[in-house]
Amino acid sequence: MCGFRSPQEIRELFVEHLPRFYDRFLRGILEGQEIAESAVYAALLKLVLQSERGNRQEMLVLLEQELSGVQGDSLELKLVRRFFSQYPGDLSVLAPLYLNVLTLQPGEALYQPAGELHAYVEGIGVELMASSDNVLRGGSRPSISMHRSFSASSGSNTVTNRRPWLSGMIWDDGSILHRRGSSSSAGSTAAGMRCTTGPGSN
């Protein structure tokens, strides 16, 4: 998973898969007056990472109820169910509905700039990045203080939606095995969500 989906796409996925959760907790964030995308994402992450204990418990109960009754076999819904079984007390299990979900085929590469929220779901890959000591954990992690740091950093106006670019392997002779453009409908489990806020990019 890598980068935020557009607010419209996030809204459509929640309405399709978790309509009661959307009506109760997200409608006020994703509908109504026009606000900057970065503000939408900051409000969404604040809800997921910094909700008060009572509100968080209410959200988790409703999420469990909906997941047990909702029909469908989309990749996003499968991942939410899977993550909820692994991290039942963590609302960041909803990430497949607000982050782009992609699958890298053998030989493909994905570029993600610094500051972009991402998570590896499954498989084996190699991550290349500049030396950095400022990685922030954004979910599926035990540290609440890191969640708060990450949520605060999301207030930056540089947080926007971006469909990651997938490219084929470039061989020594300069040829490219194959090339794919941007995509948001494929799947890459994982070690939790994170972003690098400094000059190092993955």
pLDDT digits (tens, 9 = 90+) for 152-193: 444 444 455 666 655 555 444 544 444 445 443 333 333 344
Domain regions of the chain by residue span:
1-202
Query: pLDDT tens digit string along 67-108?
Result: 998 888 899 999 999 999 999 889 999 999 999 998 888 888
190: closest CA among 85, 119, 95?
119
Instruction: State the helix-helix crossing angle for 7-17 and 37-50, rounded to 10 degrees.
Output: 40
- pLDDT greater at residue 38 or residue 181: 38
Is residue 23 within 8 Å of residue 11, measured between CB atoms? Answer: no
Q: Please give the positions annotated as active site.
A: 137
Question: Is 102:2 a contact under the CB 8 Å cutoff?
Answer: yes
Q: How confident is the model at residue 195 (pLDDT cuts 50, 70, 90)?
A: very low
- In the chain, pLDDT over 90 holds for what percent of residues? 31
The alpha helices in the chain, defined as continuous H runs, are 7-17, 19-21, 27-30, 37-50, 53-69, 75-86, 144-153
pTM for the full predicted model:
0.72
8-33 residue pLDDT tens: 999 999 999 999 999 999 998 998 66
